[in-house]
């Protein structure tokens, strides 16, 4: 049994990329591991968020965790800012992170590109992510491919801290299964599907209505060919849609290719929409039930209490070793 931890930012509507790249694995891992899944609101504010939107999205992501199948009896579900230790260890690790390491982070470069002013939080964000993971002594971190570099930095920081202050932190491994680790945009297969993309046509939101889902998938960009073939380099758009089909239907890429042999894109896209609607309709119903009940607040309070206990223990051990006067 491993300690597992991951988080999703409440920075917009959750997408099928978040579901396939992250949540599906959360649900799978919860049965045999000690899991902590959080909504990382402190990360979301590294880019500007409207207060009302942040509030709504935070509750929405927490409710979607449950609607997608995370069972609060098996996993600890909580909001990052409810556990004070995150911000505190985040600061301690920031002092141990080199500028050069942060300057190399591609997510920072992507998100800062073309902006007139960029908050310093966006730059030091990987140290906070390392804190999230190290506080719980997590051994396994299920994430999409885009988080690989941040995880590598987390490992480096764990080793650096252990060398400097004595063995304390578990050095975590990523859990990035090959299928669905990088779901691409529907309008541009060179970019990952992202909830912060200003064009809603570029992503499938988990809460999109069936009509909207069908429309978005029918308009998804494809090449000018006809064959439903999996060639990520030559046919990146269709290959992305094949991967989405495989992940949503729980079948292999080869199964999908075989099924649509000799058929055009139109029919493939129509069936893909059926598969996505069939997957998302029950999730959306469960989501509405959860939002209408009061259970969520209780689950999150309980989750924060459980998480704080583990996190505070690690933080206090470290502070003592670093030479802080303990109260």
Ranked by CB distance to ligand ATP, the top (closest) residue is 21
- One of 12, 72, 90, 172 touching ligand ATP (CB under 6 A): 12
Using H for helix, E for strand and C for coil, what is the string for 35-91? EEEEECHHHHCCCCCCHHHHHHHHHHHHHHHHHCCCCCCCEEEEEHHHCCHHHHHHH
With the C-alpha atoms ordered 220, 224, 225, 231, is the resulting torsion angle positive or negative?
negative
By CB under 6 A, tell whether 12 contacts ligand LTN.
no
By CB under 6 A, tell whether 133 contacts ligand LTN.
yes
Nearest to 44 by CA among 142, 125, 162: 125
Distance CA 161, CA 165 (A): 6
State the Cα angle at 99 between 310 and 151, rounded to 5°: 45
- Binds 18: which of ligand LTN, ligand ATP, none (CB < 5-8 Å by kind): ligand ATP
Using H for helix, E for strand and C for coil, what is the string for 307-321? HHHHHHHHHHHHHHH
- Rounded to the nearest 10°, the torsion over CA 158, 159, 162, 167 is 90
Minimal distance in Å, beta carbon 142 to ligand LTN?
8
Distance CA 258, CA 305 (A): 50
- One of 40, 247, 277, 311 touching ligand LTN (CB under 6 A): 40
- Asked if 28 is an active-site residue, the reply is no
- What residues pair up with 192 in beta bridges, in sequence order? 184
- One of 3, 13, 18, 65 touching ligand ATP (CB under 6 A): 18
Choosing from 192, 216, 235, 269, the catalytic residue is 192
Site string for ligand LTN, 113-132 (x = CB under 6 A): ----------------x--x
Site string for ligand ATP, 162-201 (x = CB under 6 A): -------------------xxx--------xxxxx-----
Choosing from 28, 73, 191, 195, the catalytic residue is 195
- Asked if 195 is an active-site residue, the reply is yes
Minimal distance in Å, beta carbon 135 to ligand LTN?
10
Distance CA 60, CA 82 (A): 16
Catalytic residue set:
111, 192, 195
Residues that bind ligand ATP (CB under 6 A): 8-9, 11-12, 15, 17-18, 21-22, 143-144, 146-147, 181-183, 192-196
Residues that bind ligand LTN (CB under 6 A): 5-7, 9, 40, 43, 129, 132-133, 141, 143, 147, 150
């Amino acid at each position: 049994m491993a300690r597992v931890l991951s988080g999703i930012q409440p920075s917009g509507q959750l997408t099928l990329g978040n579901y396939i790249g992250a949540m599906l694995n959360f649900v799978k891992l919860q049965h045999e591991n000690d899991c902590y899944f959080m909504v990382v609101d402190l990360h979301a504010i590294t880019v500007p968020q409207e207060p009302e939107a942040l509030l709504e999205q935070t509750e929405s992501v927490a409710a979607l965790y449950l609607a997608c199948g995370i069972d609060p009896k098996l996993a600890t579900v909580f909001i990052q800012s409810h556990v004070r230790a995150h911000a505190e260890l985040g600061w301690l690790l920031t002092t141990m992170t080199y500028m050069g390491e942060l300057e190399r982070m591609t997510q920072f470069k992507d998100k800062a590109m073309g902006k007139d002013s960029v908050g310093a939080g966006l730059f030091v964000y990987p140290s906070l992510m390392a804190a999230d993971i190290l506080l719980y002594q997590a051994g396994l971190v299920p994430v999409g491919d885009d988080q690989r570099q941040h995880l590598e930095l987390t490992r480096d920081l764990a080793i650096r801290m252990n060398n400097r202050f004595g063995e304390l932190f578990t050095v975590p491994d990523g859990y990035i299964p090959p299928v669905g680790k990088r779901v691409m945009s529907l309008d541009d297969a060179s970019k990952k599907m992202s909830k912060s993309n200003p064009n809603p046509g570029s992503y499938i939101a988990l809460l999109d209505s069936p009509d909207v889902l069908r429309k978005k998938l029918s308009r998804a960009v494809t090449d000018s060919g006809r064959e439903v073939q999996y060639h990520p380099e030559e046919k990146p758009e269709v290959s992305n849609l094949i991967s989405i089909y495989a992940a949503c239907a729980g079948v292999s890429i080869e199964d999908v290719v075989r099924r649509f042999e000799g058929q055009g894109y139109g029919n493939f896209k129509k069936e893909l929409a059926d598969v996505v609607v069939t997957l998302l309709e029950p999730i959306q119903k469960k989501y509405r039930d959860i939002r209408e009940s009061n259970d969520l607040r209780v689950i999150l309070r309980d989750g924060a209490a459980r998480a704080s206990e583990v996190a505070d223990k690690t933080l206090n051990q470290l502070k003592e070793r670093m030479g802080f006067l303990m109260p």
